[in-house]
Amino acid sequence: MSQPPADDPLARLRAATQARIGLGRAGHAMPTRACLDFDLGHARARDAVWTPLDMEAVTAQTGDWPVRMVRSQAPDRATYLRRPDLGRELAEADGLPSGPFDLSIIIGDGLSARAAQAHGAALALDLRNRLAGWSLAPLVLAHQARVALGDAIALAMGARFALMLIGERPGLSAADSLGAYLTIDPRPGRMDSERNCVSNIRPPHGLSIAQAGEKLAWLLTEGRRIGATGIALKDAAPTKDRPHVHHQSHAADPARPAAGQAVAGGDGDGGSFPP
């Protein structure tokens, strides 16, 4: 398999970006190795979408925090992908305790169970340590979940805030990216503009657990102080560029939301047009 020659002037550019540049050519096509690299990324992303959330693996990381399991109304992955509406509705709320609580944290598979499994419990525990004085509902693990499923879950438990930690749509170079969506007074019908999102939580390459925990703790504390999440809370955020904190308004480019921009239905899949 041929490699790009060492004296390729693009070699010095490759360090500037993760983008697949300076690949060389086989005729007009990509060389074999570049094709195989691409295929591996795609295979990993596909597996991340289709591998179910391993509940036991997550529960093993949550220590003394009581855990509840729920499902959305999407019975399987194929239905989930076609019917985002079903992924926003709770199959049944039996077994969820009634609060009141200050905060309900939900770990949902979303479009990457890998991300939920790798980072969800760690981020939940990090937040618990930062939120002294907050009453926390049992941790909820949700199958076939879209972002808005967290609203139904938190409402059933009488929680003031819902925080959905959900697997984001996998990319070729990142199949384990977690998104966190924060909503005050959660209930079905909440709009994306009423949420805040911290995205690209993906140690070691994206946001670390500590960085994400710090951002979310600030949003929660400030959200409780002003009694709002979404656009109002974003506007209150420090104006220094916070590229990973978004409210859910029009994307810069609605057809292609910016990285970390939440999307229609807040499904964390980055692909829809915002409402």
Residue 257 in tokens: 């939301």
Q: In this chain, which of 219, 251, 262, 266 binds other proteins, going by CB under 8 A?
A: 251
206 Cβ contact partners less than 8 Å away, ≥ 6 residues apart: 174, 177, 200
Q: In this chain, which of 2, 3, 32, 46 binds other proteins, going by CB under 8 A?
A: 46
Q: In this chain, which of 2, 3, 21, 57 binds other proteins, going by CB under 8 A?
A: 21
Residue 255 binding other proteins, by CB under 8 A: yes
Residue 84 binding other proteins, by CB under 8 A: yes
* Binding to other proteins in span 181-220, by CB under 8 A: 200
Q: Residue 24, exposed/middle/buried by CB under 10 A (0-12, 13-18, 19+)?
A: middle
Residue 269 binding other proteins, by CB under 8 A: yes
35 is in an annotated binding site: no
Q: How far is the CB of 172 from other proteins (least distance, A)?
A: 5
Q: Does residue 188 have a cis peptide bond before it, meaning omega lies within 30 degrees of 0?
A: no
Residue 254 binding other proteins, by CB under 8 A: yes
Number of residues interacting with other proteins: please give it, by CB under 8 A: 67
Residue 169 binding other proteins, by CB under 8 A: yes
- The owner of tokens 């009694």 is 227
Q: What is the DSSP letter of 253?
A: S
Q: Residue 225 carries which side chain, given as an amino acid letter? A: R
Q: In this chain, which of 17, 94, 132, 204 binds other proteins, going by CB under 8 A?
A: 17
Question: CA separation (Å) from 213 to 59, 121, 256?
Answer: 20, 12, 27
CA distance 58 to 180: 17
Nearer to other proteins by Cβ, of 21 and 210: the residue is 21
Q: How far is the CB of 65 from other proteins (least distance, A)?
A: 30
The CA radius of gyration of the chain, in Å to the nearest whole number, is 20
Q: In DSSP terms, which residues pair with 106 in a beta bridge?
A: 140, 164
76 Cβ contact partners less than 8 Å away, ≥ 6 residues apart: 144
147 is in an annotated binding site: yes
Residue 127 binding other proteins, by CB under 8 A: no
> Which residue numbers belong to the known binding site for adenosylcob(III)alamin?
147, 168, 197
Q: Which residues bind other proteins (CB under 8 A)?
A: 7-10, 12-23, 25, 28-30, 34, 38, 41-42, 45-46, 48-49, 81-85, 111, 168-175, 200, 241, 243, 249-256, 258-261, 263-265, 269-275
